[in-house]
Protein backbone atom coordinates (compact mmCIF):
# COMPACT_ATOMS: atom_id res chain seq x y z
CA UNK A 1 0.00 0.00 0.00
CA UNK A 2 1.20 3.48 -0.87
CA UNK A 3 1.42 6.41 1.58
CA UNK A 4 2.52 10.01 1.01
CA UNK A 5 4.66 10.82 4.05
CA UNK A 6 7.63 12.62 2.53
CA UNK A 7 8.89 13.50 -0.95
CA UNK A 8 12.06 11.57 -0.12
CA UNK A 9 10.06 8.45 -0.98
CA UNK A 10 8.46 9.77 -4.19
CA UNK A 11 10.45 9.42 -7.43
CA UNK A 12 10.96 12.25 -9.93
CA UNK A 13 8.82 10.28 -12.39
CA UNK A 14 5.96 9.99 -9.89
CA UNK A 15 6.16 13.72 -9.09
CA UNK A 16 5.91 14.57 -12.79
CA UNK A 17 2.98 12.24 -13.34
CA UNK A 18 1.14 13.72 -10.33
CA UNK A 19 1.63 17.17 -11.86
CA UNK A 20 0.30 15.94 -15.23
CA UNK A 21 -2.73 14.39 -13.53
CA UNK A 22 -3.42 17.59 -11.55
CA UNK A 23 -3.24 19.61 -14.80
CA UNK A 24 -5.79 17.27 -16.41
CA UNK A 25 -8.09 17.50 -13.37
CA UNK A 26 -7.83 21.29 -13.30
CA UNK A 27 -8.68 21.52 -17.02
CA UNK A 28 -11.62 19.17 -16.82
CA UNK A 29 -12.82 18.69 -13.21
CA UNK A 30 -16.16 17.26 -14.40
CA UNK A 31 -14.44 14.21 -15.85
CA UNK A 32 -13.18 13.27 -12.38
CA UNK A 33 -16.40 14.00 -10.48
CA UNK A 34 -17.29 10.45 -9.51
CA UNK A 35 -13.77 9.05 -9.56
CA UNK A 36 -13.66 8.14 -5.87
CA UNK A 37 -17.32 7.29 -5.42
CA UNK A 38 -18.21 6.03 -1.91
CA UNK A 39 -14.75 6.60 -0.44
CA UNK A 40 -14.25 8.36 2.91
CA UNK A 41 -11.30 10.52 3.93
CA UNK A 42 -10.47 11.11 7.58
CA UNK A 43 -8.60 14.35 8.30
CA UNK A 44 -6.73 14.42 11.63
CA UNK A 45 -5.49 17.79 12.86
CA UNK A 46 -3.18 18.68 15.75
CA UNK A 47 -2.44 22.15 14.33
CA UNK A 48 -4.44 24.96 12.68
CA UNK A 49 -5.08 25.03 8.92
CA UNK A 50 -6.98 27.01 6.31
CA UNK A 51 -5.70 25.73 2.96
CA UNK A 52 -4.97 22.08 3.76
CA UNK A 53 -8.24 21.48 5.54
CA UNK A 54 -10.40 23.23 2.95
CA UNK A 55 -8.60 21.99 -0.16
CA UNK A 56 -8.87 18.36 0.96
CA UNK A 57 -12.49 18.77 2.04
CA UNK A 58 -13.52 20.46 -1.22
CA UNK A 59 -11.44 17.98 -3.25
CA UNK A 60 -13.32 15.06 -1.67
CA UNK A 61 -16.67 16.75 -2.18
CA UNK A 62 -15.91 17.40 -5.86
CA UNK A 63 -14.70 13.82 -6.35
CA UNK A 64 -18.12 12.66 -5.16
CA UNK A 65 -17.02 11.49 -1.73
CA UNK A 66 -16.95 12.47 1.92
CA UNK A 67 -14.35 13.95 4.27
CA UNK A 68 -14.46 13.87 8.07
CA UNK A 69 -12.63 16.53 10.09
CA UNK A 70 -11.36 15.25 13.43
CA UNK A 71 -9.70 17.60 15.91
CA UNK A 72 -7.03 15.50 17.59
CA UNK A 73 -6.77 17.88 20.53
CA UNK A 74 -10.08 16.45 21.79
CA UNK A 75 -9.18 12.80 21.07
CA UNK A 76 -8.38 9.97 23.50
CA UNK A 77 -4.91 10.01 21.87
CA UNK A 78 -4.13 13.54 23.00
CA UNK A 79 -5.77 13.04 26.37
CA UNK A 80 -3.21 10.27 26.95
CA UNK A 81 -5.89 7.54 26.95
CA UNK A 82 -4.89 5.74 23.73
CA UNK A 83 -1.74 5.32 21.67
CA UNK A 84 -1.23 6.20 18.01
CA UNK A 85 -0.94 2.50 17.04
CA UNK A 86 -4.45 1.67 18.34
CA UNK A 87 -5.82 4.92 16.89
CA UNK A 88 -4.47 3.92 13.45
CA UNK A 89 -5.94 0.42 13.66
CA UNK A 90 -9.37 1.69 14.74
CA UNK A 91 -9.76 4.43 12.14
CA UNK A 92 -8.59 2.08 9.36
CA UNK A 93 -11.75 0.04 10.03
CA UNK A 94 -13.94 3.05 9.19
CA UNK A 95 -12.34 5.04 6.38
CA UNK A 96 -10.52 4.56 3.05
CA UNK A 97 -7.73 7.13 3.42
CA UNK A 98 -6.26 9.28 6.20
CA UNK A 99 -4.73 12.74 5.96
CA UNK A 100 -2.96 13.93 9.12
CA UNK A 101 -1.43 17.23 10.21
CA UNK A 102 0.76 16.40 13.19
CA UNK A 103 3.65 17.88 15.15
CA UNK A 104 6.06 14.93 15.10
CA UNK A 105 6.92 13.16 11.86
CA UNK A 106 7.68 10.00 13.89
CA UNK A 107 4.01 9.96 15.03
CA UNK A 108 2.93 10.13 11.37
CA UNK A 109 5.25 7.22 10.56
CA UNK A 110 3.73 5.17 13.39
CA UNK A 111 0.26 6.07 12.15
CA UNK A 112 1.16 4.84 8.64
CA UNK A 113 2.90 1.70 9.92
CA UNK A 114 -0.25 0.68 11.80
CA UNK A 115 -2.90 1.82 9.33
CA UNK A 116 -4.32 -0.53 6.73
CA UNK A 117 -5.31 2.40 4.46
CA UNK A 118 -3.13 5.05 2.73
CA UNK A 119 -1.87 7.91 4.91
CA UNK A 120 -1.16 11.41 3.58
CA UNK A 121 1.10 13.90 5.36
CA UNK A 122 -0.87 17.13 5.69
CA UNK A 123 2.22 18.75 7.32
CA UNK A 124 4.51 17.71 10.13
CA UNK A 125 7.28 19.79 11.72
CA UNK A 126 9.58 17.92 9.32
CA UNK A 127 7.90 18.03 5.92
CA UNK A 128 4.98 19.30 3.84
CA UNK A 129 4.85 17.20 0.66
CA UNK A 130 1.36 18.24 -0.54
CA UNK A 131 2.44 21.89 -0.51
CA UNK A 132 5.54 21.35 -2.61
CA UNK A 133 3.76 19.07 -5.09
CA UNK A 134 1.19 21.79 -5.72
CA UNK A 135 3.95 24.42 -5.87
CA UNK A 136 5.61 22.41 -8.63
CA UNK A 137 2.26 22.41 -10.45
CA UNK A 138 2.19 26.23 -10.11
CA UNK A 139 5.78 26.53 -11.39
CA UNK A 140 5.02 24.23 -14.36
CA UNK A 141 2.00 26.40 -15.23
CA UNK A 142 4.02 29.64 -15.03
CA UNK A 143 7.09 28.49 -16.97
CA UNK A 144 5.79 25.55 -19.05
CA UNK A 145 8.63 23.40 -17.63
CA UNK A 146 10.53 22.56 -14.45
CA UNK A 147 13.91 21.34 -15.68
CA UNK A 148 16.67 23.92 -15.52
CA UNK A 149 14.72 26.49 -13.47
CA UNK A 150 16.39 28.12 -10.47
CA UNK A 151 14.57 28.60 -7.18
CA UNK A 152 16.06 30.72 -4.38
CA UNK A 153 14.64 30.14 -0.90
CA UNK A 154 15.15 32.74 1.85
CA UNK A 155 14.65 32.53 5.60
CA UNK A 156 14.02 29.75 8.09
CA UNK A 157 15.33 26.61 6.41
CA UNK A 158 14.94 24.21 9.33
CA UNK A 159 11.46 24.06 8.01
CA UNK A 160 8.98 21.54 6.61
CA UNK A 161 8.49 23.38 3.29
CA UNK A 162 12.25 23.84 2.77
CA UNK A 163 12.84 20.15 3.49
CA UNK A 164 10.23 19.18 0.91
CA UNK A 165 11.77 21.56 -1.63
CA UNK A 166 15.17 19.97 -0.94
CA UNK A 167 13.78 16.48 -1.50
CA UNK A 168 11.85 17.32 -4.67
CA UNK A 169 13.69 19.95 -6.70
CA UNK A 170 16.84 18.01 -7.63
CA UNK A 171 14.63 15.09 -8.69
CA UNK A 172 12.78 17.21 -11.24
CA UNK A 173 15.96 18.85 -12.56
CA UNK A 174 15.62 22.21 -10.76
CA UNK A 175 18.46 24.21 -9.20
CA UNK A 176 18.03 25.33 -5.59
CA UNK A 177 19.82 27.92 -3.46
CA UNK A 178 18.83 28.16 0.19
CA UNK A 179 19.76 31.41 1.95
CA UNK A 180 19.49 30.98 5.72
CA UNK A 181 21.35 31.90 8.92
CA UNK A 182 24.43 29.83 9.64
CA UNK A 183 22.99 28.26 12.81
CA UNK A 184 21.69 24.72 13.08
CA UNK A 185 18.42 26.12 14.45
CA UNK A 186 17.72 27.68 11.02
CA UNK A 187 19.59 25.36 8.64
CA UNK A 188 17.95 22.35 6.97
CA UNK A 189 18.40 19.11 8.91
CA UNK A 190 21.68 17.46 7.88
CA UNK A 191 19.93 14.19 6.94
CA UNK A 192 17.85 16.17 4.38
CA UNK A 193 20.66 18.27 2.91
CA UNK A 194 22.83 15.15 2.54
CA UNK A 195 20.10 13.38 0.59
CA UNK A 196 19.43 16.50 -1.51
CA UNK A 197 23.15 16.88 -2.33
CA UNK A 198 23.33 13.25 -3.45
CA UNK A 199 20.24 13.68 -5.59
CA UNK A 200 21.58 16.95 -7.06
CA UNK A 201 24.86 15.25 -8.04
CA UNK A 202 22.93 12.37 -9.57
CA UNK A 203 20.74 14.71 -11.64
CA UNK A 204 23.46 17.28 -12.39
CA UNK A 205 21.53 20.13 -10.74
CA UNK A 206 23.00 22.87 -8.55
CA UNK A 207 22.30 22.91 -4.82
CA UNK A 208 23.74 25.63 -2.59
CA UNK A 209 22.98 26.25 1.10
CA UNK A 210 24.53 29.51 2.24
CA UNK A 211 24.21 32.35 4.72
CA UNK A 212 25.97 34.70 2.30
CA UNK A 213 23.15 36.87 1.04
CA UNK A 214 25.59 38.78 -1.19
CA UNK A 215 25.39 35.87 -3.64
CA UNK A 216 21.72 36.63 -4.40
CA UNK A 217 21.55 36.45 -8.17
CA UNK A 218 19.10 35.97 -11.00
CA UNK A 219 16.47 33.38 -10.17
CA UNK A 220 13.25 32.19 -11.74
CA UNK A 221 11.50 31.83 -8.42
CA UNK A 222 12.01 33.49 -5.03
CA UNK A 223 10.36 31.50 -2.21
CA UNK A 224 9.97 32.12 1.49
CA UNK A 225 7.95 30.68 4.36
CA UNK A 226 6.88 31.88 7.79
CA UNK A 227 9.57 32.55 10.40
CA UNK A 228 7.02 31.44 12.96
CA UNK A 229 5.84 27.99 11.88
CA UNK A 230 2.88 26.56 13.81
CA UNK A 231 5.10 24.57 16.19
CA UNK A 232 7.30 27.54 17.18
CA UNK A 233 6.28 29.13 20.51
CA UNK A 234 5.26 32.79 20.36
CA UNK A 235 7.85 33.62 23.02
CA UNK A 236 10.58 33.03 20.38
CA UNK A 237 9.19 35.51 17.85
CA UNK A 238 11.36 38.50 18.73
CA UNK A 239 14.60 36.50 18.94
CA UNK A 240 13.94 34.66 15.68
CA UNK A 241 12.93 37.81 13.81
CA UNK A 242 16.20 39.50 14.82
CA UNK A 243 18.27 36.63 13.37
CA UNK A 244 16.14 36.13 10.25
CA UNK A 245 15.72 39.79 9.34
CA UNK A 246 18.72 39.66 6.98
CA UNK A 247 16.88 36.99 4.98
CA UNK A 248 13.62 38.88 4.52
CA UNK A 249 12.28 38.94 0.96
CA UNK A 250 11.92 42.61 0.08
CA UNK A 251 12.19 44.78 -3.04
CA UNK A 252 16.00 44.66 -2.89
CA UNK A 253 16.01 40.85 -3.02
CA UNK A 254 13.43 40.84 -5.83
CA UNK A 255 15.49 43.36 -7.81
CA UNK A 256 18.63 41.25 -7.45
CA UNK A 257 16.64 38.18 -8.54
CA UNK A 258 15.79 39.73 -11.93
CA UNK A 259 12.46 38.60 -13.36
CA UNK A 260 11.69 36.03 -10.67
CA UNK A 261 8.15 35.31 -9.53
CA UNK A 262 7.47 35.32 -5.78
CA UNK A 263 6.10 32.26 -3.97
CA UNK A 264 4.96 31.64 -0.39
CA UNK A 265 2.95 28.65 0.87
CA UNK A 266 0.93 30.94 3.23
CA UNK A 267 0.00 31.89 5.91
CA UNK A 268 2.31 34.92 5.59
CA UNK A 269 3.22 37.74 7.95
CA UNK A 270 3.83 40.96 6.06
CA UNK A 271 6.81 42.84 7.45
CA UNK A 272 8.42 39.63 8.72
CA UNK A 273 9.56 37.05 6.13
CA UNK A 274 8.21 39.17 3.23
CA UNK A 275 7.33 42.81 2.80
CA UNK A 276 3.83 43.81 1.72
CA UNK A 277 5.07 45.43 -1.52
CA UNK A 278 6.47 42.05 -2.65
CA UNK A 279 3.66 39.68 -1.62
CA UNK A 280 1.00 42.06 -2.94
CA UNK A 281 2.85 42.76 -6.22
CA UNK A 282 2.13 41.41 -9.71
CA UNK A 283 5.13 39.11 -9.38
CA UNK A 284 3.50 37.27 -6.49
CA UNK A 285 1.68 34.00 -7.33
CA UNK A 286 0.70 33.07 -3.77
CA UNK A 287 -3.03 32.77 -4.48
CA UNK A 288 -2.41 30.57 -7.53
CA UNK A 289 -0.37 28.38 -5.18
CA UNK A 290 -3.25 28.27 -2.71
CA UNK A 291 -5.73 27.36 -5.49
CA UNK A 292 -3.49 24.65 -6.83
CA UNK A 293 -3.59 22.86 -3.50
CA UNK A 294 -7.15 21.83 -4.46
CA UNK A 295 -6.19 20.37 -7.85
CA UNK A 296 -3.13 18.61 -6.46
CA UNK A 297 -5.01 17.14 -3.47
CA UNK A 298 -7.39 15.52 -5.98
CA UNK A 299 -4.46 14.08 -7.94
CA UNK A 300 -2.89 12.73 -4.73
CA UNK A 301 -6.15 11.12 -3.59
CA UNK A 302 -6.72 9.47 -6.99
CA UNK A 303 -3.08 8.32 -7.15
CA UNK A 304 -3.27 6.68 -3.70
CA UNK A 305 -6.75 5.19 -4.05
CA UNK A 306 -6.76 3.98 -7.65
- Catalytic residue flag (residue 201): no
One of 225, 295, 299, 300 touching ligand NVA (CB under 6 A): 225
Which partner, ligand CP, ligand NVA, none, binds residue 70 by CB below 5 to 8 Å per kind? Answer: none
195 C-beta neighbours (distance < 10 Å), count: 16
CB of 78 within 8 A of CB of 72? yes
Determine if 121 is a binding residue for ligand NVA (CB under 6 A): no
User: Which residues in this chain contact ligand CP in the complex, by CB under 6 A?
Assistant: 49-52, 123, 131, 265-267
Q: Is 137 exposed, middle or buried (0-12, 13-18, 19+ CB in 10 A)?
A: buried
Of residues 159 and 248, the one with the C-beta less far from ligand NVA: 159
For the chain, the helix, strand and coil percentages under 3-state DSSP, each to the nearest 5:
45, 15, 35
Question: Binding string to ligand NVA for residues 131 to 170, with x set by CB under 6 A, is what?
Answer: ----------------------------xxx---------
Query: Could you tell me whether strands 66-71 and 221-224 are parallel, antiparallel, or unpaired per DSSP bridges?
Result: unpaired
| Alpha carbon separation from 237 to 186, 244, 265, 266, 273 (Å, rounded) | 13, 10, 19, 17, 12
- Catalytic residue flag (residue 293): yes
Of residues 207 and 249, the one with the C-beta less far from ligand CP: 249
Pick the piece of the chain touching ligand NVA (CB under 6 A) from 104-112, 138-146, 185-193, 221-229.
221-229
- Catalytic residue flag (residue 280): no
Which partner, ligand CP, ligand NVA, none, binds residue 299 by CB below 5 to 8 Å per kind? Answer: none
Of residues 158 and 226, the one with the C-beta less far from ligand CP: 226
Q: How many residues bind ligand NVA (CB under 6 A)?
A: 10
- Catalytic residue flag (residue 130): no
CB of 225 within 8 A of CB of 155? yes
What is the maximum alpha-carbon separation in the chain? 55
CB of 217 within 8 A of CB of 148? no
- Catalytic residue flag (residue 128): yes
Of residues 175 and 264, the one with the C-beta less far from ligand NVA: 264
Residue of 128, 175, 187, 295 marked catalytic: 128
Which partner, ligand CP, ligand NVA, none, binds residue 103 by CB below 5 to 8 Å per kind? Answer: none
Of residues 55 and 226, the one with the C-beta less far from ligand NVA: 226
Determine if 229 is a binding residue for ligand NVA (CB under 6 A): yes
- Catalytic residue flag (residue 248): no
CB of 286 to ligand CP, least distance (A): 10
DSSP assignment of 25-60 equals HHH-GGGGTTTTTT-EEEEEESS--SHHHHHHHHHH
Cα(122)–Cα(131) distance, rounded to whole angstroms?
8
Which partner, ligand NVA, ligand CP, none, binds residue 113 by CB below 5 to 8 Å per kind? Answer: none
One of 103, 143, 230, 303 touching ligand NVA (CB under 6 A): 230
Residue of 96, 105, 131, 240 marked catalytic: 131
159 C-beta neighbours (distance < 10 Å), count: 29
Cα(254)–Cα(263) distance, rounded to whole angstroms?
11
Q: Which residues contact 214 (CB under 8 A, 6 or more apart)?
A: none
> Which residues contribute to the site for ligand NVA (CB under 6 A)?
123, 128, 159-161, 225-226, 229-230, 265
Catalytic residues: 101, 128, 131, 225, 265, 293
Amino acid sequence: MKHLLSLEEVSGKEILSLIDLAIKIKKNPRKFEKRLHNKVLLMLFEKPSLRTRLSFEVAMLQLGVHAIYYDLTTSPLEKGKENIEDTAKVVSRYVDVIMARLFEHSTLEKLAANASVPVINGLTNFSHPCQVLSDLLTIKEKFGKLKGLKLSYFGDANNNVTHSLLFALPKVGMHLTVFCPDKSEFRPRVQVSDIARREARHNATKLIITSDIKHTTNSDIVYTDSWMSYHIPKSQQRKRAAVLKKFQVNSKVMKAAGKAIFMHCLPAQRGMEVTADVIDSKRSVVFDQAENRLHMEKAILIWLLK
